[in-house]
Structures are given as structure tokens and as C-alpha cells.
Amino acid sequence: MKDITTREDVEFLVKEFYNQVIKDDLIGFFFTDVAKIDLNKHLPKMYNFWESILLGNPVYEGHPMAKHFPINEVSALEERHFNRWLQIWEKTVHENFDGENAENAINRALNIARIMNHKMANARRN
């Protein structure tokens, strides 16, 4: 297997991940019923997000944390949800890629999940 080295690799990874996550019994409803994401609009943003993180190309513009607070108000984003998101992400990475950027993708996702879980839990307390 090859490492994540191109925009095309990032797009493949993100598409594969979303193909799985939107069907997941535990967290799929956040994407389909709560956020009601339009994949045609959402995926290019996610390609840019992960390309910025993994390849160092500053193509992402936005505030990902801010987008999740309204979802958290409708249906609480809990640690078990972030753990499942991470589990699916790791599985998708490991099934398709191997190398430094692949491991970085997993480590960065772990950090994102931890930070988002902490911020969403604090938002529910306030």
C-alpha cells in the first residue's frame, strides 16, 4: 500500500470514510438526519480540510468547530460518538494507505476527536 501523498489520495480517503460513516448505526444519523449534509457540498470542504492537514497545502477556509455546536444542541455529540468516528477513520486509513501521512491522518483525527469531545461536553454544561 502507498502513503497519502496527493489530493487524489485525500479525496479517495475522505469519500471512503463518508461512504461508511453515513451508514453507521451509531453516528450516521448525525450526518443524515441532524446536520442533513449535502455530500456534494460537504465533501469538497472535507477534501480541503484534510489536504491542508496532511499535505500542508493551505486550501481549507472555515471554522470546523463552529459548525458542530449547532449539531450538539440538537443531539449531544458524546465521547462514544467521537470514538466511533475515529474507529471508522482509522479502519478506512489502514485499509487503503500505509506510511507517515497515513499515521499522521490517524494521529490528527485522534487529536481532533479529543478536542471536539471536550468542547462539545463543555458546551452542554453551559
Q: Which amino acid appears at position 15 of this protein?
A: K
Closest by CA position to 124, among listed 63, 85, 92, 79: 79
Do residues 85 and 111 make contact, with C-beta atoms less than 8 angstroms apart? no
Q: Residue 118 annotated as binding?
A: yes
Inter-CA distances, 84 with 62, 66, 96, Å: 24, 21, 18
d(CA 3, CA 79): 29
Annotated binding site: 118
Annotated binding site for heme: 118
